[in-house]
């Protein structure tokens, strides 16, 4: 199966972000076999104040329904159906009453929603340069790991994570135990943490779980809630279960792709059966 990561530089204007992604995806997908297309974290509204995030967020329809769906949800569903792809929608702002969640959606080639996941681990840190990030001041945390089983010939199980989740290997191990073949890591990594940790963490999670890691990321500069500039790292990549980077971007919008080969996964897991050797639950 083809896996395609889309890298973009979003701001707080959801309509403009949708137009940008539509252009990037049209260039990326083309003709060919069934593809898994993955978008970055918070592509619908990156940066801005809580009020801006609330305004650009969407109340999601109940699973199995599209009644009352917002523009980002409809864009993802319509694009998956029109292009005939499995579309992993990175993440968007989900509104539930006055609560906000950082939420992933996955759509099948028929445009129907397959899974949704709310980000569990929120980015409340101060980087070595002194820049502070408090995701919990804007978002609520999810509680449930999610595995998305692709129907039909694809036959892949997708483990869903978002950005800061990458630093918690127990979540990735749990997804492998549930049957994950591919783990998706849509992100908006900071430049500072990205330079030092992005590649090594992605490769480590691939090696530990023996899963393909598909990590679409944002790039470029946006304004935070106080109007200060924040720059994200980019460098979207796909890593195979041995930890080898098989596709990668730099820091410009664009796309990269690789083939998810289940034969490679099977050979690595058979030669080094780490799941069977595991002693601690």
Query: Do the beta carbons of residue 4 and residue 35 sit within 8 Å?
Result: yes
Q: What is the pLDDT of residue 227?
A: 87
Q: What is the pLDDT of residue 106?
A: 98
Residue 151 pLDDT level (bands cut at 50, 70, 90): confident
Query: Do the beta carbons of residue 117 and residue 162 sit within 8 Å?
Result: yes
Instruction: Tell me the pLDDT tens digit for each residue of 6-63.
Output: 999 999 999 999 999 999 999 999 877 889 999 999 999 999 998 999 999 999 999 8
- 148 annotated active-site: no
Reading the block at residue 103, the tokens are 């939420």
CATH number of 2-272: 3.60.110.10
Q: What is the pLDDT of residue 70?
A: 97
Q: Is the pLDDT of residue 94 over 90?
A: yes
Residue 188 CA: distances (Å) to CA of 81, 108, 208, 270: 26, 24, 23, 34
Supply the mean pLDDT for the chain.
Answer: 95
Out of 45, 53, 113, 119, which one is annotated catalytic? 119
- 53 annotated active-site: no
Instruction: State how far the Cα of 110 lies from the Cα of 38, in Å rounded to an integer.
Output: 16
Reading the block at residue 176, the tokens are 């492998």
Q: What is the pLDDT of residue 40?
A: 98
Q: What is the pLDDT of residue 33?
A: 81
Ranges of each domain in the chain: 2-272
CB atoms within 10 A of CB 130: 6
Higher pLDDT, 98 or 198: 198
Q: Is the pLDDT of residue 234 over 90?
A: yes
Q: 118 forms bridges with which residues in the sheet?
A: 103
Q: What is the pLDDT of residue 224?
A: 87
CB atoms within 10 A of CB 34: 14
Out of 14, 41, 45, 53, which one is annotated catalytic? 41
Out of 8, 45, 148, 163, which one is annotated catalytic? 163
Is the four-CA dihedral 128, 251, 35, 94 of positive or negative sign? positive
Q: What is the pLDDT of residue 152?
A: 77
Q: Is the pLDDT of residue 107 over 90?
A: yes
């Amino acid at each position: 199966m083809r896996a395609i990561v889309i890298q973009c530089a979003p701001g707080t204007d959801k309509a403009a972000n949708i137009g940008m992604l539509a252009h990037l995806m049209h260039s990326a997908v083309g003709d060919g076999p069934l593809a898994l297309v993955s978008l970055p974290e918070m592509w619908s509204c990156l940066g801005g104040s809580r009020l801006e995030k609330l305004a650009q967020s969407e109340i999601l329809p109940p699973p199995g329904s599209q009644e009352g769906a917002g523009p980002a949800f409809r864009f993802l569903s319509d694009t998956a159906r029109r292009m005939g792809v499995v579309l992993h929608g990175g993440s968007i702002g989900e509104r539930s009453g006055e609560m906000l969640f950082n939420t992933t959606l996955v759509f099948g080639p028929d445009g129907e929603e397959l899974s949704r996941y709310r980000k569990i681990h929120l980015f409340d840190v101060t980087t070595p340069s002194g820049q502070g990030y408090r995701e919990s001041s804007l978002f609520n945390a999810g509680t449930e790991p999610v595995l998305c089983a692709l129907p039909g010939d694809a036959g892949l199980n997708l483990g869903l994570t978002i950005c800061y989740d990458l630093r918690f290997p127990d979540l990735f191990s749990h997804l492998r135990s549930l049957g994950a073949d591919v783990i998706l890591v849509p992100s908006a990594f900071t430049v500072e943490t990205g330079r030092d940790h992005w590649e090594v963490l992605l490769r480590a999670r691939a090696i530990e779980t023996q899963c393909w890691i598909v990590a679409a990321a944002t790039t470029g500069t946006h304004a935070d809630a106080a109007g200060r500039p924040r720059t994200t790292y980019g460098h979207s990549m796909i890593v195979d279960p041995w930890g080898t980077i098989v596709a990668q971007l730099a820091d410009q919008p664009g796309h990269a792709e690789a083939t998810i080969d289940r034969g490679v996964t099977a050979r690595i897991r058979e030669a080094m059966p780490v799941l069977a050797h595991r002693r601690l639950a």
